[in-house]
Structure 1
Amino acid sequence: MSLALAIRPSPKQERSIAEATARLNIWEGAIRSGKTIASLLRWVIFVANAPRGGSLVVAGKTADTISRNVFDPLMDPAIMGPLAKRTSYTRGAPTASILGRKVEIISCADARAETRLRGMTCAGAYVDEITLVDRPFWDMLLSRLSVPGAKLFGSTNPDAPSHWLKRDFLDRRHELDLKSWHFRLDDNHSLDPAYVRALKAEYTGLWYKRFILGLWVLAEGAIFDMWDEDKHVVTTLPLMEKWLACGIDYGTANPFDAVLVGVSVPDEYGQRRIYVTNEWRWDSRQQRRQLTDAEYSVRLADWLDGIPDTYGPGTGGVRPAWLIVDPSAASFVLQLHHDGFRPQQGDNSVLDGIRTVSNLMAADHLRVHASCRDLVDEIVGYAWDDKKAAAGEDAPVKEHDHSVDALRYALHTTQAVWWRLLEPVPRL
């Protein structure tokens, strides 16, 4: 099949497309490196000539990721040219059409997705973000690829080196009917060099190795290894343009911690920043008394009301736009509603939240007032759990993390609000 594309694949993409003739074909590596587009182009070529007598499947973690990562590019004329019209899909639908062939859509957010494959005979499959798929689902999918000439295509970002995909498949590719291609960010020559430089500056440590270099590496050492107290901790605050959020990590026996976050007015270079301006903590062990939900609510209001009017006119008695609460604190959320607040449960996607905070630090878009001592101390000591990393799981050590969790809730949950505010203001 000849592809009349709107883009020109890179030499590495072209080579991988031409070489993808194995039963299992996997593109792995850095973000924005061109691996997904190459894998999708090869999938379309396969669909055009796929064996009859079996189902075609597109699988991914969720319906949203399948739509965004697979079908948005396939239906984008800027990528696929005239072929974009030959793909039809409605977000959330159980099937799609590619080049006139019916394609089954399976999201595998939990183990029950495996049951959708049982009894199915597959002629071909495309899997988005393979490392996020449960191993039982993957094994079942491979077992259903029984039609002669059936093939699987897929892409993924790297994970821990002990991940089952690397250990049992990529590292054994010479023993299996499997081909794979490793992509780094620099392999995508179509990206704006300024964008590439920005990405390289924003990611550090584990994220740089995985998302820029495309390496399968362990999470080890300090999580916020880009933290520089001389740069990130301030003793004076600029005026706040927007009181963004108060993030709350709820605790009874453990500390209760709240951090107040604002977005500053543009500086002399037109740059706004996010500032953690104030912190309030109640440690029941130190205080030798646990507070009820009602008492926490009253003290939280008193703390916000008592913040001095030093950040601009009318800011005494702060009420931020968002009150983001630990999602496990359902009873406290109800109490806050009863007391006139408008709380929202925080997004507790731990790794995504850590990455959000890390990127802000690396880009020098986040600063913390020196009075927030508990937060500063926790940031310095926040580390990856070595035992879990060795077992293939990226997770922080769960101790001395209450302020960090509050900050993560506040920033990750509200990122749709603040990311545009951080774009530099043009200077006249």
Structure 2
Amino acid sequence: MAISDLLTSKQAKVLHAYQTKPFKIMILTGAVRSGKTFIDNFLFLYELRRTAKLAALKNDTHPRYILAGATSNSIYNNIISELQTQFGLTLRQDFHGHYHLFGVDIVPVYTKSITGLASARGFTSYGAYVNEASLANHEVFNEIQNRCSMEGSHIICDTNPDIPTHWLKTDFIDNHDSKAGILSFTFTIDDNTTLAIDYVESMKASKSGMFYDRDILGLWVTGEGIVYQDFDKDTMVIPDDQLPNNLDYYCGVDWGFAKGHENVITVMGDDPEIDVTYLTDIFSSTGKYIDYWVDIARQIQEQHGYNINYWCDSARPEYVSYFQQKHINARNADKSVMDGIEYCSQRIKMGKFKVLRSCAKPFLDDIYQYVWDPVKGVPKKEHDNVMDSFRYGLFNQHKRVENTAINSIYF
């Protein structure tokens, strides 16, 4: 049987790279039903054979290899049962929940939540197969990478696309440093030439926007329904050395404490000559008490002037009052969600808002996941800490300036 009878052209290309190119991590990303997992299951068997040979050379009688997936069910459905279908191999779990093949102990690691961290610790692995990698908790993935420390170890992954700022995309797929040893391949639905023509045609005809880009073209694109749809990181994120001098600075403050509800201070500056706002700094942390944030505010004052405004979340009046007692110009922000979003959206749409590259990551992480609740018609209370802080500052500072201008005309 020729390889073309078993694999598509794209899958054969991946197999050839696996056999001929040195790598540490191989990532297959792209469209649904495009054949990524099929070839990765194929490579998984190559990896187990390879592990057995390396272990024999080292007289290692207990070689281990990580099999990772979001949950136990996803590992079984996507890999274990498919090995039966593809190759007639039946793998059963032992007393410890491990699988065994070719003399290799296959250790399952569940990646969807931080609880999977425990199962990835405490041993050395000859490699890992990570299914649905974009669903993995970043810390768990990092620990899997730490475990694969044997000389010549590999990590192979497959994934569907997510937001363009996802850590798997930015840290791995887009990482072209040769020392990182990363190979990546992007699949489209057309790469799977075994699919029925009517299925492919129906999929293409029934999807649009983000769903078409992700499911058909395999692109890492922003989800539909994001609040600030006109934000374009290619034109609005700028190098730090392009920041003008003599800006009028102010801050937005969103109080928080616990993980997922971080305290955030955003620092912005207006260039009055060209009417452009620059986001120049983001301070974000959890578990910090008010004196910590007073110190941050004083650092900002020392850099940008002691009269700088802090437009604060009014939900914590005692914090606002404490800032004021410490001679920080804290003010209660107008938190009108829709009015504030409308104003910020207008600034973005008109190209009057820029973000410095040095502080772009936390802003991009939130703005690409800050979406409308389709039922309530307001933004979901998710990924909103930086978004609230930035809105409080931008909306209130300009509202104050505009009101001052109006008052100077009529009074």
After TM superposition, the score normalised by the length of structure 2 is 0.52
Unaligned stretches of 5+ residues in structure 2: 228-347, 349-360, 381-411
Q: Which residue of 1 aligns with 2:76?
A: 67
Q: Which residue of 2 aligns with 1:425?
A: none
Q: Which residue of 1 aligns with 2:196?
A: 192
**Offset at 1:107?**
1.4
Equivalent residue runs for 1:281-320 within 5 Å: none
Q: Which deviations, in whole Å up to 9, do the C-alpha atoms of 1:156-204 show, x marking residues without a partner?
A: 0011110001101111134421111110000000111001111112322
Q: Which residue of 2 aligns with 1:338?
A: none
User: Per the alignment, in what secondary structure is the counterpart of residue 397 of structure 1?
Assistant: coil
Q: Which residue of 1 aligns with 2:48?
A: 47
Q: Does 1:106 find its partner at 2:109?
A: yes
Contact 2:9 2:191 survives alignment (8 Å): no
| Residue of structure 2 aligned with 1:135, choices 133, 138, 159 | 138
Number of aligned residue pairs: 237
Contact 2:134 2:162 survives alignment (8 Å): yes
Contact 2:30 2:160 survives alignment (8 Å): yes
CA distance in 2, matches of 1:110, 1:9: 34
Q: Which residue of 1 aligns with 2:25?
A: 24
Q: Which residue of 2 aligns with 1:123?
A: 126
Q: Which residue of 1 aligns with 2:170?
A: 167
Q: Which residue of 1 aligns with 2:365?
A: 391
CA distance in 2, matches of 1:139, 1:182: 22
Partner AA of 2:76 in structure 1? S
CA distance in 1, matches of 2:363, 2:78: 28
**Offset at 1:57?**
0.8
Flag the 1:91–1:182 CA change in 2: closer, same or farther, 3 A.
Answer: farther
Pick which of 211-220 and 154-163 moved more: 211-220
Q: Does 1:213 find its partner at 2:217?
A: yes
Contact 2:161 2:214 survives alignment (8 Å): yes
CA distance in 1, matches of 2:93, 2:212: 35
User: Per the alignment, in what secondary structure is the counterpart of residue 141 of structure 1?
Assistant: helix
Contact 2:133 2:159 survives alignment (8 Å): yes
CA distance in 1, matches of 2:79, 2:225: 35
CA distance in 2, matches of 1:394, 1:93: 39
**Offset at 1:147?**
1.0
Unaligned stretches of 5+ residues in structure 1: 224-385, 406-428
Q: Does 1:401 find its partner at 2:405?
A: no
| Residue of structure 2 aligned with 1:56, choices 57, 65, 74 | 65
CA distance in 2, matches of 1:147, 1:55: 10
Contact 1:389 1:395 survives alignment (8 Å): no
Partner AA of 1:198 in structure 2? S
Flag the 1:9–1:92 CA change in 2: closer, same or farther, 3 A.
Answer: farther
Q: Which residue of 2 aligns with 1:36?
A: 37
Flag the 1:217–1:388 CA change in 2: closer, same or farther, 3 A.
Answer: farther
Equivalent residue runs for 1:278-427 within 5 Å: 390-391=364-365, 394=369, 396-398=371-373, 400-401=375-376
User: Per the alignment, in what secondary structure is the counterpart of residue 49 of structure 1?
Assistant: helix
**Offset at 1:6?**
11
Q: Which deviations, in whole Å up to 9, do the C-alpha atoms of 1:225-277 show, x marking residues without a partner?
A: xxxxxxxxxxxxxxxxxxxxxxxxxxxxxxxxxxxxxxxxxxxxxxxxxxxxx
Flag the 1:204–1:182 CA change in 2: closer, same or farther, 3 A.
Answer: same
Q: Which deviations, in whole Å up to 9, do the C-alpha atoms of 1:316-340 show, x marking residues without a partner?
A: xxxxxxxxxxxxxxxxxxxxxxxxx
Flag the 1:4–1:64 CA change in 2: closer, same or farther, 3 A.
Answer: farther
Higher normalized helix content (fraction of residues): 2
**Offset at 1:396?**
3.3
Contact 1:124 1:145 survives alignment (8 Å): yes
| Residue of structure 1 aligned with 2:147, choices 144, 147, 163 | 144
Flag the 1:120–1:191 CA change in 2: closer, same or farther, 3 A.
Answer: same
**Offset at 1:7?**
6.0
Partner AA of 1:155 in structure 2? D
Contact 1:219 1:389 survives alignment (8 Å): no
Contact 1:220 1:389 survives alignment (8 Å): no
Contact 1:17 1:39 survives alignment (8 Å): no
Flag the 1:389–1:215 CA change in 2: closer, same or farther, 3 A.
Answer: farther
CA distance in 2, matches of 1:62, 1:89: 17
User: Per the alignment, in what secondary structure is the counterpart of residue 34 of structure 2?
Assistant: coil
Q: Which residue of 1 aligns with 2:312?
A: none
CA distance in 1, matches of 2:35, 2:95: 26
Contact 1:125 1:153 survives alignment (8 Å): yes
Root-mean-square deviation over aligned CA pairs: 3.4
**Offset at 1:43?**
1.6
User: Per the alignment, in what secondary structure is the counterpart of residue 6 of structure 2?
Assistant: coil
CA distance in 1, matches of 2:100, 2:198: 37
CA distance in 1, matches of 2:95, 2:2: 28
**Offset at 1:206?**
0.9
User: Per the alignment, in what secondary structure is the counterpart of residue 200 of structure 2?
Assistant: helix
CA distance in 2, matches of 1:139, 1:200: 36
Q: Which residue of 2 aligns with 1:89?
A: 92
Flag the 1:4–1:210 CA change in 2: closer, same or farther, 3 A.
Answer: same
Contact 1:206 1:217 survives alignment (8 Å): yes
CA distance in 2, matches of 1:192, 1:399: 34
